[in-house]
Amino acid sequence: MFYKITGLYCPGCGMTRMLIQLLHGNIKSAFYYNRLLFFLIPILTVFIVILMIQYVKKGTMDVNKKMNNCFILFIIFLIIFGILRNLPSFSFLAPIYS
């Protein structure tokens, strides 16, 4: 939707196709649809599982400073990735639609 309105790729463009390719076992194709989220989604999943375990054990989801800094770093990566994938010299970061 963002691409249709602006003509620019957002950091999440290609994510749905990436997940579909992963479900079909096409790891190489999934990587080319969204290179950053290909690596960030498993890391974020681990963080969520840690928070869920913490909630079950302690009854609260306390985010410590280290986790908070990681989330901020992920957001910074997404912003930089969203900018770079729209620059002509970084066109290889754009999702490859076949």
Helix (H) or strand (E) holding 54: helix 35-58
The per-residue pLDDT for range 10-56, each reduced to its tens digit, is: 888 888 999 999 999 999 989 999 999 989 989 889 988 988 998 99
Look up residue 19 and give its two tokens.
Answer: 């997940």
Q: Which residues contact 89 (CB under 8 A, 6 or more apart)?
A: none
Q: Tell if the pTM clears 0.75, that is, is over it.
A: yes
| C-alpha angle 26-20-47 in degrees, rounded to nearest 5 | 95
Q: What is the pLDDT of residues 34-47, one digit of tens each?
A: 999 989 989 889 98
| Cα–chain center distance at 30 | 12
Q: How far is the C-alpha of 82 from the C-alpha of 23, rounded, in Å? A: 25
Query: How far, in Å, are 27, 28, 50, 71 from residue 76 at the CA level?
Result: 25, 25, 22, 9
